[in-house]
A and B are shown apart, each in its own frame.
Chain A
């Protein structure tokens, strides 16, 4: 698989940097929604290469980072109950909730299993009919279809012990909330390539239409990101009325997206309000299991009750501001001073897609 070499050509990349600096009439800011973009931007030195013309702001696009304490607390409460196994994707286990993380709960005896696919959790449920398997549904439009498929699979297998605790979130409402709050100046948005491969690029039409700002949907290789930023720089030179969504990730993204995945999501889930770390509760920004699938909905089946929980970050942690693009990770007083990937205080340092983790790993200061 040599798929990525052509997108990492140093000559092409450097020519794109030159083209961006020539197209930029004045300094502009771009919010990269997706944590995967933040990671690639730091890893390939793009932020540094464009620093004289472009401010790149990290957005809320890290599913683990935006998970609210209340949801983590609920997952821990479930995992601590006898007879229940909580299954989750990897980096979620380390994220601190109000008091502890799933990983800490596991060390105290709670049953927490890391899986790479929700179908593994379905198979584990099938293999042990005496245990209730609760899969944590975490992620944006990219992972939601796979969780939906797991519910359909459990149904087809006639399983009565597979459940989903959905914390799924939708990306456009979060972007709207950030722009609506008006806390920061965002001149353009780098659209998340993986999410948009499901939703289709029309999902971002509201950016030029309602906010007059361009959006370029981007892949994750260096020349993908640079091509998208070039499209943004050129679009900013046009009158606001002519700005639109550019799709610079045509090898993965279409206007309408993945209709099979969208149907699957619409079948299993329904839109619901969701609580985001940093952004609070946003209407229509989450996905819960629909009434037809109530028997698989951990929120309905298990009385979780009122937990003593908090929406506040850990003391001194400024993840909520990092997630809104208000500060860059090094501006948090805990960054590198008590908070690092081995001992993370906030979720943005835990997840590989978190902005703090990307800045920590790739953004060390040079003499």
Chain B
């Protein structure tokens, strides 16, 4: 290959022979689903077996992914796109089935980077048991995008008897998280700014559908699931408190945070409760099932550090209250504005 061919060119989005080349040499090299390989204008999901064991309810989601750097410790934008889509479906209790993917590529993007992103999408989708069955690519002028933007849609099936919603938290329920908070956000921030913390920070980016199905098997009556992405755990808890019109009390010391994340947060003046996660969930379950769900989570590789962090209460409806180490209580608000590192 000549040098100029090693980057994405505007011609790759022309619909002509260059488009054909990039589809064959990059996308279809990794994405091998028969429905995609057929290269039809759309995928026809004609085999009804995928609907089982649903009662006919289909979960449907869409999301867009923009992240800098494109490749980071623990993942890349491709893995992130699959995990984000799968996790949005899983948070409604759905089994992820199909995905679409649309790439917006910036002229000049290295084809090697694109290859890595597509390869990791394929691997992650396979691991999560979701099929990428339709896709699209556009190329925009240099400066009109930041390397790669990815848009996805996902379809999943909701098993009978599963009713998971942010409106279902009731007083007495127990709140669990599947692991330590803040890994993804701190990793991205430190990578972006070239801050080094001994290399121990790694994104938690991972698909959670398998963990959710394990949890649902031991407690089909899980009330709420949320993946605390942007805005972190604090914002996710506030959304639930508001939508269910209940109070939420958490014990700050019980929220797992990895030492490297805690150290980096202190240095930057950030609060891990507000930092994004991409491979963790928060679950609200009836008290009588809490210990069983916790045990099941801890036995699963994606929930090994799961912990009970608090309770749903009737007081202070719409509010999240944290007990400090002095035994005093304060409100944990939703993230307002963006988290910016401090000056001194």
A binding-site residues for B, Cβ under 8 Å: 1-4, 8-10, 13-14, 17, 36, 39, 42-46, 48-49, 63-64, 89-92, 94, 116, 120, 138-140, 142-143, 194-195, 222, 340-342, 344, 351-353, 360-367
Contact = CB atoms under 8 A, between A and B. Distances in A.
Interface string B327-340: 11111010011011
Given A36-B342, A366-B321, 11 more contacts: A1-B260, A2-B259, A3-B263, A36-B344, A63-B344, A64-B343, A116-B341, A120-B194, A139-B343, A143-B344, A360-B336
Contact of A49 (B266, B328, B337, B343): B328
Contacts of A140: 344
B127 interface: no
A260 B341 CA distance: 26
Nearest to B316: A367
- B interface residue count range (under 10 / 10 to 19 / 20 to 34 / 35 or more): 20 to 34
A35 to B, nearest CB: 8
Top 5 nearest A-B pairs (CB, nearest first) are: A45-B328, A364-B331, A45-B324, A341-B336, A90-B340
Contacts, number: 117
B195 interface: yes
A353 B259 contact: no
A137 B323 CA distance: 38
A190 to B, nearest CB: 15
Q: Describe B's contact surface by its main secondary structure.
A: loop
A116 B344 contact: no
Contacts of B327: 10, 14, 45, 49
Nearest to A220: B266
Nearest to A114: B340
A118 B314 CA distance: 50
B336 to A, nearest CB: 4
Interface in B246-270: 253, 259-260, 262-263, 266, 269
B326 interface: yes
A1 B263 contact: yes
A333 to B, nearest CB: 19
B319 interface: yes
Given A1-B259, A2-B259, A116-B195, A45 B343 contact: no
B249 to A, nearest CB: 11
B160 interface: no
Contacts of B341: 89-91, 116, 352
A39 B46 CA distance: 58
Contacts of B263: 1, 3-4
B340 A4 contact: no
19 contacts: A9-B325, A17-B326, A36-B269, A36-B344, A44-B326, A45-B327, A45-B328, A48-B326, A63-B343, A63-B344, A64-B343, A90-B340, A195-B344, A222-B325, A351-B343, A360-B333, A362-B330, A366-B329, A367-B316
B315 A139 contact: no
Given A14-B326, A44-B325, A194 B344 contact: yes
Nearest to A44: B324
B193 interface: yes
Given A4-B262, A143-B343, A10 B330 contact: no
Contact of A116 (B193, B260, B262, B336): B193
Contacts of B331: 362-366
Contacts of A4: 262-263, 266
A139 B344 CA distance: 7
A89 B341 CA distance: 8
Contacts of B344: 36, 63, 139-140, 142-143, 194-195, 353
Contacts of B269: 36, 39, 352-353
A303 B108 CA distance: 40
A303 B310 CA distance: 58
Contacts of B326: 10, 13-14, 17, 44-46, 48-49, 222
Candidate in A17, A63, A364 with the most chain B CB atoms within 10 angstroms: A364
A364 B325 contact: no
A131 to B, nearest CB: 17
Given A3-B263, A8-B325, A366-B321, A341 B337 contact: yes
